[in-house]
Amino acid sequence: MIIFIIASVQSLDVQLINLQQVYYSVPITANNFTYNLIVDTGSDTLWIFGKQNDRRKYYECNKCQAIMQKRLDYGLGSIYGTQFTQLFEFGNQSLNLSVVEVERVQDLESLIADGIIGLSKQYPDSDANLIDLLYNHTIIDVKQFGLLLSDQICSANSLLTLGKPNPSNYVGQLHYVNTTRSDLWNVYANSVLVSNDTHQYMLESNKQLILFDSGTSKIMLSTRKFHSLHNIFNDDYNLHCEQVKHNYFHELVCHYTTQFPHLILNINSQLNLTLLPQDYISYCGYNYFLQYRCYLNFQNLDNDDEIILGVVFLQKYYTHYDLEAKKVGIAQSIYYSRDKVSLGELGNQYNYNMLYLSLMSVPILMLVMILSLNIIRMKQTADEIAQSNEGGRQSRGQEQEMEPITFSVQSVR
């Protein structure tokens, strides 16, 4: 259910659903069907899976005229389809939005939502986009939106704020940062540091391009920086990390310790964005070999030298996006509390399940081994009996062949 709160400054708060700590979705309705779409600040397009994708719920344009064929490429895959203008129900508002009915997908078949609604900084001229339409209909009085993301799975307490920021969503003041000239929500950081109480190492000393992307779940680094971070963790902090491939990307898995450093993005002299170990560690727990490991939310990205701050970052920091001033406002989220959680408590339920599974697997494996040995022994015994029987038959045959021949000799008188 969507709840709209209309304030005196004409802004709307729309509930978002946390989808397994990976994405956040918003419901939107067309042709009497409600679709859950991922809110993606790294995309400029609204698209929904079409009938050709063999999904339980699909979009099919009803009495509308095609505009163009469109292809979109993402870091993980691509989509291709036909663009239409469709009347959608968004909350209690009726809006004619541009939408792509997706006919073919590559490597995005497992997406857990029905599609994506893009909220990038710039839109193609042909697109009728959500923010512009809300502003043109005087539903909001500024072209702005914000994201307040809770880490509670499947809860509806995350918000998409359309219009001016609501100070009750963040702690302190919003710090606004100018974006670059790109169509995306990119900013520059002066440096990127890896630091703890005693040591500090430079991951990047020059200007670092950063993207705020709610369509990405983790923190993505260029391959070069990913390897540099891996080396710093191992050589300077002795974390014994290894790179593990997962869903096309490499991730870091490290030995458990309380000595994980902080990651600090220095945006300017007044703003440092700090990620504590509790922020960038997904969980610490036992693997199948009863080894206690920490699984980190860093992934490598084979593209330009860019750091993509996904859901992991956006759960800690409330971000507000100003399309007219082309700025991003940043402040700590009111929901943030991971700094009060110890590393050992991260993913406790998963840890217990994995430990229980590992412990239960030991007697099961022993039982399988015993059964296997018994089967082997039975087979060996059967083979020995068969060989013994065969040997007995061969022996009796030889005895029959070697029976003495008795000659009867008579004397001739």
CATH number at residue 116: 2.40.70.10
Same domain? For 330 and 203 the reply is yes
Predicted TM-score (pTM) above 0.85 = no
Whether 305 is in a domain gets the answer: yes
Single residue among 330, 357, 384 that ends a domain in this structure? 357
Same domain? For 33 and 68 the reply is yes
Residue 115, burial from CB neighbour count under 10 angstroms (0-12, 13-18, 19+): buried
Q: Which of 202-211, 227-236, 357-366 has the lowest mean pLDDT?
A: 357-366
Same domain? For 148 and 181 the reply is no
Whether 333 is in a domain gets the answer: yes
Whether 202 is in a domain gets the answer: yes
Whether 30 is in a domain gets the answer: yes
Nearest of 372, 221, 407 to residue 307 by alpha carbon: 221
Same domain? For 177 and 55 the reply is no
Same domain? For 130 and 178 the reply is no
Per-residue pLDDT at 350 exceeds 50: no
Same domain? For 194 and 116 the reply is no
Single residue among 108, 138, 162 that ends a domain in this structure? 162
> In this prediction, what percent of the chain has a pLDDT beyond 70?
85
163 against 123, higher pLDDT: 163
Instruction: Considering only the C-alpha atoms of the chain, give the largest distance between any 2 of them, rounded to a whole number of Å.
Output: 151
Nearest of 300, 311, 356, 364 to residue 333 by alpha carbon: 311
Per-residue pLDDT at 344 exceeds 90: no
Q: Mind listing the pLDDT tens digit for each residue in 282-312?
A: 998 887 777 889 999 999 987 678 999 999 9
Whether 319 is in a domain gets the answer: yes
Tokens of 298: 């860093």
Whether 281 is in a domain gets the answer: yes
How confident is the prediction for the chain on average, in pLDDT?
A: 85
Same domain? For 68 and 93 the reply is yes
Per-residue pLDDT at 356 exceeds 90: no
Same domain? For 110 and 185 the reply is no
| pLDDT number for residue 410 | 47
Same domain? For 43 and 155 the reply is yes
One-letter amino acid identity for 67? I
Number of domains in the chain: 2
Same domain? For 153 and 301 the reply is no
Q: DSSP letter string over 4-26?
A: ----TT--EEEEEEEETTTEEEE
Alpha-carbon gap, residue 288 to 305, rounded angstroms: 35
Under 8 Å between Cβ of 354 and 292: no
Same domain? For 236 and 299 the reply is yes
- Range of 137's domain? 12-162
Same domain? For 141 and 271 the reply is no
Single residue among 133, 162, 191 that ends a domain in this structure? 162
Per-residue pLDDT at 7 exceeds 50: no
Per-residue pLDDT at 352 exceeds 50: no
Q: Mind listing the pLDDT tens digit for each residue in 158-172?
A: 999 999 999 999 999
